[in-house]
Structure 1
Amino acid sequence: MNPSLHADAVATLGAWRPADRTQESLRQAYLGFLAAREDACLRSCEPGHITASALVVDASGERVLLTLHPRVGRWLQLGGHCEASDTTLAGAALREAREESGIADLRISPEPVHLDVHPITCSLGKPTRHFDVRFLVRAPLDASPLRSAESLDLAWWPATALPPDTDDLHPLLTAARVHL
């Protein structure tokens, strides 16, 4: 893992000031986790690891691009694990968004918009946690996504009419709306 990714995670979360107390509490917990674990950005970190995701919005800001995740079986924002080549969290989120959407000219806001910790059994095959750092990503006008092998489906959804079983995305959408 690139040591600059860990340093960037600390710097990014250290500089970010979330709008509400719950997000501030999570930010402090993330910073504590990063201080305790040099391997916090590696998927091999069994207690949990930092992940990066992207809420991709269309040019109007009225639709969001969601992926039907094969392992989870639900519609989610794009994103995933940090890779050895990633040097920044925003870069990891943008790489994941490009890979999973097939849209090359996406633009990312460099400051996170939301944090979420969730239990998951990922590629380790063991229960762990994802400490997800979420960014806002804008697609160009008339962007046409192309589903990758990492998805069962990929579709634009009205931000006000998400698919069933996506209630956990509402706090992310609320946080992102401030930046649209």
Structure 2
Amino acid sequence: MTTALHADAVATLSSWRPPDRAQRSLREAFLGFLAARPDACSRSCEPGHLTASALVLDAEGEHLLLTLHPRVGAWLQLGGHCEATDSTLAGAALREATEESGIEGLIIDPVPVHVDVHPITCSLGLPTRHFDVRFLVRAPTAAQPVRSAESLDLRWWPLGALPDPDGVSGLAAMASAAQIAR
């Protein structure tokens, strides 16, 4: 993983102004993890690693694009691991969103909207944690997603009728708040 990506992660999170106390606390935990681990952006970092996600909204801001994740078995935002070619977290989120949606011309806001830490067994086959940094992404008008091999299903969901209310309801609130703030 490049030192440029690590430096960008530190700069991005240091300059981000989280919307509430819980998010400020998590941001500090992310920054502490980055300070302790030069490899924090690499999936080979066994204690955990940064990931980058995209809350992809349609052009009208009324629908959120979700993927039915094959390993997790739930509807989630698009995103994933940082790659050696990524130099920014926003770039990693945009790359993942483009790869997983098949939509060209996505536009990302480089300011995070949310961070989350969750336990997972990912591609290493070992229990780890994802330190997920989430960004708001806009799709062009009339964008039609194309499911990739990384998904069991891919579809637009109205913000007011997302599946699995316990799992993704917060995504709608984040997406709505982020587009109002921008």
Q: TM-score range by the shorter chain?
A: over 0.9
Task: Say if 2:160 and 2:172, in contact at 8 Å, map to a contact too.
Answer: no
- C-alpha separation in 1, matches of 2:173 and 2:59: 18
1:2 Cα shift? 1.3
Q: Secondary structure at the match of 1:163?
A: coil
> 2:20 maps to which residue?
20
> 2:56 maps to which residue?
56
> 2:156 maps to which residue?
156
1:38-117 superposed matches below 5 A? 38-117=38-117
Structure 1 segments of 4 or more deviating over 6 A? none
Could you list the per-position Cα deviations for residues 10-43 of structure 1 after superposition, in whole angstroms to 9, with x for gaps in the alignment?
A: 0000000011000000000000000000000000
Could you list the per-position Cα deviations for residues 54-89 of structure 1 after superposition, in whole angstroms to 9, with x for gaps in the alignment?
A: 000001111000000010011000000000000000
- C-alpha separation in 2, matches of 1:173 and 1:26: 20
- C-alpha separation in 2, matches of 1:139 and 1:29: 31
1:176 Cα shift? 2.6
Instruction: Provide structure 1 residue ranges, at least 5 long, that are not aligned to the other structure.
Output: none
1:178 Cα shift? 2.2
Task: Say if 2:75 and 2:168, in contact at 8 Å, map to a contact too.
Answer: no
Task: Say if 1:53 and 1:80, in contact at 8 Å, map to a contact too.
Answer: yes
> 1:131 maps to which residue?
131
> 2:176 maps to which residue?
177
Aligned residue type for 1:173: A
Report the RMSD for the aligned CA atoms in angstroms: 0.9
TM-score, normalisation: structure 2: 0.96
1:177 Cα shift? 1.5
> 2:166 maps to which residue?
167
- C-alpha separation in 2, matches of 1:103 and 1:21: 35
Task: Say if 1:114 and 1:172, in contact at 8 Å, map to a contact too.
Answer: no
Q: Give the total of aligned pairs.
A: 179
Residue range with higher mean Cα deviation, 170-179 or 75-84: 170-179
1:7 Cα shift? 0.1
Instruction: Provide structure 2 residue ranges, at least 5 long, that are not aligned to the other structure.
Output: none
- C-alpha separation in 1, matches of 2:66 and 2:171: 13
1:173 Cα shift? 2.6
Task: Say if 2:57 and 2:175, in contact at 8 Å, map to a contact too.
Answer: no
Q: Secondary structure at the match of 1:79?
A: strand
